[in-house]
Amino acid sequence: MRKVLIVCLMMLGIMAKAQNGYQVGDVATDFNLKNVDGKNVSLANYKDAKGYIVVFTCNTCPVAKAYQSRVEALHKEYGPKGYPVIAINTNDPGTSPGDSYENMQKLAKEKNFSYAYLEDPNHIYTKKFGATKTPHTFVLTKTAKGNEVAYIGAIDNDQEEVNADKTTYVKAAVNSLLQGKKPEITSTKAVGCSIKWKKEGTTK
Amino acid sequence: MKYVFTFFLICTFSFANAQVKLLTLSELDRRIAKGKDTTYVINFWATWCGPCVAELPSFEKLKKEYFKRPVKVILISMDFKSKLKSDVIPFVKKHKLKSEVYVINEADQQAFIEKVDKKWSGSIPATLVAMRTRRLFFEKEFANNELEDLVKNIVHGDYKL
């Protein structure tokens, strides 16, 4: 009996890991979400963009915090080259009060974010993209089909900035795309905090 | 004299409890290899991970359980190394954790996750049950008595590791 139970539990585990969200090669939908300056932002607003670095993140996760300055540096380096950073807060403020819109504004001001930092009420785009962690990065590139997903995963393999021979996945992907090539590494494991989902039955 | 001795014991005991060291994956592997018939229950967690913290009592309870063969619980924190003194040690003291606690000492998260288990997405809590060269990996939270049942099954041989 016990064995049957364990097998059942394992099956459930496998089922729970069914792939949702975008895979590399999919075309990403546009969004229209509120930025920390109160104005709504869509991908389509960036007329001169060749693509986008979309970072699903939050205010509170220690891993997301560790990457804040690196996300800023990506925007400074690649924004002018046609790949701006757009950050989206994945977390529900009801579940994680530190991730409220007001706290997003506070953080953006305090850290001088030069990129858009958008709220995603009810996790609509977090779920559409299939982000599961903070930070979780999706590099999009403009093609005839639309905004195609070219890379999904981690920013680099050096969370604590101690890895001497690190690989900067997002930079490498964008550099390849700028040269008109496909990224060599198109997906890695996004390692960070789980998303703080809205608890069922709560409204806001 | 007796009092002094007791006091000394209490001191060393509480000190030993709050000792948290860094651990590399190869150090862990060597530990398992040397463990003979010990079943290691290795939980990957972090102080900032709510579900992980909620699950810690089941791992702590496991130590007190009676098993036919030795079982060793090891809690490996995925907190940043730089947070060892500021976050992890105070957490261990506050929650009076009795299991062995380490902070993972691996610079490359991608390689580390891949080495622990190819299928691991990097989500925590996650648990590795290991004995000699046999391994079972669970990327999940355990329900109430699920962990205890699982370890009993593994150790008592109804469930092959």
Instruction: Fill in the amino acid letter for A136.
Output: H
For residue range A20-58, list pLDDT tens digits in order. 899 999 999 999 999 999 999 999 999 999 999 999 999
Cα B105 to Cα A54: distance, rounded to the nearest angstrom? 30
| Residue B135 confidence (pLDDT) above 60 | yes
A17 is written with which tokens? 């890991």
For residue range B85-105, list pLDDT tens digits in order. 999 999 999 999 999 999 999
Averaged pLDDT for residues A151-160: 98
What integer best gives the mean pLDDT of chain A? 92
Cα A152 to Cα A140: distance, rounded to the nearest angstrom? 9
| Residue A14 confidence (pLDDT) above 50 | no
User: Which chain B residue's Cα is nearest to A196?
Assistant: B50
| Residue A115 confidence (pLDDT) above 90 | yes
With helix as H, strand as E and coil as C, how does chain B read? Answer: CHHHHHHHHHHHHHHHHCCCEEECHHHHHHHHHHCCCCEEEEEEECCCCHHHHHHHHHHHHHCCCCCCCCEEEEEEECCCHHHHHHHHHHHHHHCCCCCEEEEECCCCHHHHHHHHCCCCCCCCCEEEEEECCEEEEECCCCCCCHHHHHHHHHHCCCCCC
Cα B120 to Cα B137: distance, rounded to the nearest angstrom? 8
Averaged pLDDT for residues A1-7: 54
Alpha-carbon gap: B26 to the closest alpha carbon of chain A (Å)? 17
Confidence of residue B3 (pLDDT cuts 50, 70, 90): low
B134 is written with which tokens? 């046999």
Alpha-carbon gap: B18 to the closest alpha carbon of chain A (Å)? 22
Cα A10 to Cα A6: distance, rounded to the nearest angstrom? 6
Averaged pLDDT for residues A69-91: 98
- Integer angstrom CA distances of residue B131 from B14, B36, B152: 29, 8, 14
Q: Do A13 and B146 touch (CB under 8 A)?
A: no
CA A21 to chain centre: 12
Alpha-carbon gap: B21 to the closest alpha carbon of chain A (Å)? 17
Residues of chain A found within 8 Å of residue B140, distances taken between Cβ atoms: 13, 16
| Residue A16 confidence (pLDDT) above 50 | no
Q: Select from B45, B53, B108 the residue whose CB has the most chain A CBs within 10 Å, as the one to mutate to test that interface.
A: B108
- Phi first, then psi: give them for residue B68, nearest 5 degrees: -65, -35
Cα A140 to Cα A43: distance, rounded to the nearest angstrom? 10
| Residue B13 confidence (pLDDT) above 70 | no
| Residue B119 confidence (pLDDT) above 80 | yes
Alpha-carbon gap: A44 to the closest alpha carbon of chain B (Å)? 32
| Residue B11 confidence (pLDDT) above 60 | no
Share of chain A above pLDDT 90, in %: 88
Please tell me if residue A62 touches chain B, with a CB cutoff of 8 Å.
yes
Among A3, A13, A159, whose Cβ lies nearest the Cβ of B109? A159
For residues B158 and A14, the model is more confident at: B158
Averaged pLDDT for residues A190-200: 94
| Residue B1 confidence (pLDDT) above 70 | no
pTM: 0.87
Confidence of residue B30 (pLDDT cuts 50, 70, 90): very high
pLDDT at residue A1 in the model = 55
pLDDT at residue A18 in the model = 47
- Integer angstrom CA distances of residue A183 from A39, A74, A79, A173, B67: 33, 16, 18, 5, 51
Please tell me if residue A164 touches chain B, with a CB cutoff of 8 Å.
yes
| Residue B52 confidence (pLDDT) above 90 | yes
User: Which chain A residue's Cα is nearest to B157?
Assistant: A3
| Residue B120 confidence (pLDDT) above 50 | yes
Confidence of residue B154 (pLDDT cuts 50, 70, 90): confident
Q: Which of residues 5-64 of B touch A (CB under 8 A)?
A: 46, 48-49, 51
Point out which residues pair with B47 in neighbouring strands: none
Averaged pLDDT for residues A123-135: 98
Q: Which of residues 119-138 of B touch A (CB under 8 A)?
A: 120-124, 138
Averaged pLDDT for residues A66-89: 98
Point out which residues pair with B73 in neighbouring strands: B41
For residues B158 and A200, the model is more confident at: A200
pLDDT at residue A108 in the model = 98
pLDDT at residue B143 in the model = 87
Q: Residues B69, B40: contact at Cβ < 8 Å?
A: no
